[in-house]
Amino acid sequence: MLRSLFIFSVFCAVLPAQVVLGGASTLPAATQPGAAVVADFNNDGLQDVGVAVGVPDRFETFARSGSGFNAGIATLLAGSTRPFDAESGDIDGDGDADVVVSLRDANQIQVLVNNAGLFLLPGNTTSCGGEPENIVLADLDNDGDLDVATSNRASNSVTILLNDGNGAFSASATLPVAGESIDIIATDLDGDGDLDLAVAIASNRTIELFLNAGSASFSAGTPISTGPQLEPAFLTAADLDGNGQVDLVTTTMGGGLDQILVFFATGGANFATPFAIATPGHADGIDAADLDGDGDIDLAMSLGVSNGIVVLENSGTGFFTVGATATVGTGPGRIRCLDVDGGLPDIVVTNALSNDVTVISNATPLATPNYPGTDEDFVTRFAVNGGGFTVVGGGSDALDVAPGTLLTLSHTSENGTFTGVAGASAFGSVLATGSIFPTPIAGLHVNLPSAFFVVAPNILGFPAAAPISYSVPYPGGAAGLSVLIQGVVSTSSGINGIYVSANGLELRLQ
- Average pLDDT for 456-467: 33
H or E, element range at 299? strand 298-303
- Please report which confidence band the pLDDT of residue 45 belongs to, taking 50, 70 and 90 as the band edges: confident
Indicate whether 407 and 479 sit together in one domain: yes
In a domain, 16, yes or no: no
In a domain, 264, yes or no: yes
Which residue, of 316, 335, 362, is where some domain finishes? 362
Domains contained in the chain, number: 2
Indicate whether 434 and 344 sit together in one domain: no
Of 458, 460, 404, the residue nearest 427 (C-alpha) = 460
Q: Tell me the per-residue pLDDT of 302-353, one tens digit each, with 9 for 90 and over.
A: 998 899 999 999 988 888 989 999 999 999 999 999 999 888 899 999 999 9
In a domain, 256, yes or no: yes
- Please report which confidence band the pLDDT of residue 258 belongs to, taking 50, 70 and 90 as the band edges: confident
Residue 223 burial class via C-beta count within 10 angstroms: exposed 0-12, middle 13-18, buried 19 and up? middle
Q: What percent of the chain has pLDDT over 90?
A: 55
Indicate whether 312 and 289 sit together in one domain: yes
- Find out whether 316 and 242 touch, Cβ atoms under 8 Å: yes
| Greater pLDDT, 131 or 445 | 131
Max CA distance (Å), the chain: 81
- Find out whether 327 and 4 touch, Cβ atoms under 8 Å: no
Is the pLDDT confidence value at 128 over 80?
A: yes
Of 104, 148, 103, 107, the residue nearest 128 (C-alpha) = 107
| Greater pLDDT, 5 or 287 | 287
Is the pLDDT confidence value at 491 over 70?
A: no
Indicate whether 298 and 409 sit together in one domain: no
Indicate whether 94 and 159 sit together in one domain: yes
Indicate whether 156 and 296 sit together in one domain: yes
In a domain, 330, yes or no: yes
* Alpha carbons within 13 A on the beta-carbon side of 237: 24
In a domain, 498, yes or no: yes
- Average pLDDT for 361-372: 63
SS3 category, 118: strand
- Please report which confidence band the pLDDT of residue 366 belongs to, taking 50, 70 and 90 as the band edges: low
Indicate whether 132 and 258 sit together in one domain: yes
In a domain, 451, yes or no: yes
Which residue, of 339, 362, 385, is where some domain finishes? 362
C-alpha separations of 155 from 101, 159, 252, 373, 492 in Å: 18, 10, 22, 62, 76
Indicate whether 347 and 470 sit together in one domain: no
Among the residue ranges 116-130, 144-158, 321-335, the one predicted with the least confidence is 116-130
- Average pLDDT for 241-259: 88
* Strand 265-267 relative to strand 270-271, pairing: antiparallel
Indicate whether 338 and 253 sit together in one domain: yes
Of 244, 281, 282, 276, the residue nearest 263 (C-alpha) = 276
Note down the domain range covering 318.
Answer: 21-362
pTM for the structure as a whole = 0.72
Task: Give the domain CATH number at 106.
Answer: 2.130.10.10
Task: Give the domain CATH number at 463.
Answer: 2.60.120
Indicate whether 148 and 286 sit together in one domain: yes
Q: Tell me the per-residue pLDDT of 106-122, one tens digit each, with 9 for 90 and over.
A: 999 999 999 988 998 88
pLDDT score of 279: 82
Indicate whether 144 and 258 sit together in one domain: yes
Is the pLDDT confidence value at 422 over 60?
A: no
In a domain, 53, yes or no: yes
Neighbours of 349 (CB within 10 A): 30
Q: CA 146, CA 141: separation in Å to the nearest integer?
A: 9
| Greater pLDDT, 444 or 241 | 241
In a domain, 12, yes or no: no
Of 376, 429, 433, the residue nearest 407 (C-alpha) = 376
pLDDT score of 184: 98
Indicate whether 356 and 413 sit together in one domain: no
